[in-house]
Amino acid sequence: MDTQKDFDSTNIFMFIIRWWKHLGIICLIAAIVASIFSAPLFITPKYQSAVTMFPSQSVSLSRSVLGVAAGQKDFLQYGDIDDAERLLQILGSGAIRERIIERFNLIDHYEIPWDSPYLYTQVNRQYQSSVSSRRTEFGAVEVSVRDKDPEMAANIANEIAALIDTVQNEMRYERALLAYQTAKNQYNNIQEEIKKSEDSLREVMEKGVYDYEGQTAMLYKQLAKDISSGNTAGVNALQERLRAIGSHGGSFMHLTNYIIESSENLATAHRRLQEAKADKESFVSFKFIIDEAHPSERKVYPVRWLIVVLSTFGAGFLGVVILMIYNNLENKGIIKSKNK
């Protein structure tokens, strides 16, 4: 007979039956310890609140309202995947994180010492572990906040959603201000050019040219009459006027056409100026709130039953391994059995 009683995996059931009391005690102790150390006295419970929103279309408000061009996106439509990704990028930006930390005084709330050499690293790490955002399967964006205070979690989530518009409008304002200044300069330049042309045209008109084509036709008609009637004085006077029109008529026509064309450009520049001003002064919402965050009534962390189950299973598995080693050493005679 083989006296070597090495452990065989085929009789694992019999092994557990032999040591069931020991394994039961190990699992019971692990469950009790896990239940105690997962209590609020040792692990601070956390509550979660979430706000859900759809991104809006990234379009110009002024062009949508003042003059919709062909193919222009509707300002009231929901955004697409690209708009949702841009929204997630804003949510993870330092501009929002820094304002939330300052507004809710999270350094004190997270109980981080002000004299810590890594103060901002610690508060940023704590913030990032407490705040998360994701794109849902339906294209919406969800912002979740975990905190030991349910009211604080809800307030932070709602404030983050509100800051989305603030941050994006601040970035948008910088570009809108540049566009407004450019449009205003263009409008003023066209106005100045028209004023100069009108002054030059006025000087030409003071020299007797006020309707080139009409005057020329009328004077030639009168000249023909004076020539046929032998009115020498009238002919000389008409010829003098025709010479003046010939000298300044080109300038008159050029200035007149330039003023007409510039007036059309001025109308276009004025419309662009109105659009740029509307973009600069308007506050646009970049989201549609579906569900606001509300204080949670139940904690989401820690999940005590899961901790107890995993701890009990882990302790039982570790107990099996230890007893297997003990049983093997006992069979080899390294450890003397108490039953012998």
First CA to last CA distance, the chain: 19
Can you give the chain as a three-state secondary structure string?
CCCCCCCCHHHHHHHHHHCHHHHHHHHHHHHHHHHHHCCCCCCCCEEEEEEEEEEECCCCHHHHHCCCCCCCCCCCCECCHHHHHHHHHHHCCHHHHHHHHHHCCHHHHCCCCCCCCCHHHHHHHHHHHHEEEEECCCCCEEEEEEECCHHHHHHHHHHHHHHHHHHHHHHHHHHHHHHHHHHHHHHHHHHHHHHHHHHHHHHHHHCCCCCHHHHHHHHHHHHHHHHHHCCHHHHHHHHHHHHHHHHHHHHHHHHHHHHHHHHHHHHHHHHHHHHHHHHHHCCCCCEEEEECCCCCCCEEECCHHHHHHHHHHHHHHHHHHHHHHHHHHHHCCCCCCCCC
Q: Is the pLDDT of residue 94 over 80?
A: yes
Domain ranges in the chain are: 1-43+302-315+326-332, 177-281
Average confidence score pLDDT of the chain: 78
pLDDT score recorded for residue 254: 73
Output the pTM of the full model: 0.65
Are 160 and 49 in contact by the 8 Å Cβ rule? The answer is no
pLDDT of residue 231: 60
* pLDDT of the residue at 241: 63
Residues 191-209: what's their mean pLDDT?
77
Q: So what's the pLDDT on residue 71?
A: 47
Q: Per-residue pLDDT tens for 14-48?
A: 777 777 788 888 888 888 888 887 777 777 889 99
Give tens-digit pLDDT for 237-263. 656 665 666 555 667 677 778 888 888
Residue 1, pLDDT above cutoff 80: no
Beta bridge partners of 144: 50, 132
Residue 78: what pLDDT?
A: 65
Q: What is the mean pLDDT of residues 293-317?
A: 85
- Which pLDDT belongs to residue 172? 82
pLDDT tens figures, 228-238: 666 666 556 65
Say if CB 104 and CB 152 are below 8 A apart: yes
| 8 A C-beta contact, residue 74 and residue 152 | no
Q: What is the mean pLDDT of residues 185-191?
A: 92
Distances from the Cα of 31 to the Cα of 37, 114, 284, 310, angstroms: 10, 39, 55, 9
The whole-number pLDDT of residue 306 equals: 84
Band of residue 128 on the pLDDT scale cut at 50, 70, 90:
very high
Per-residue model confidence (pLDDT) at position 3: 40
Residue 7, pLDDT > 50, answer: no
Residue-wise pLDDT tens digits, 54-87: 888 765 655 555 554 444 555 556 667 888 888 8
Q: What pLDDT is recorded for position 31?
A: 86
What does the pLDDT read at residue 145? 94
pLDDT of residue 75: 52
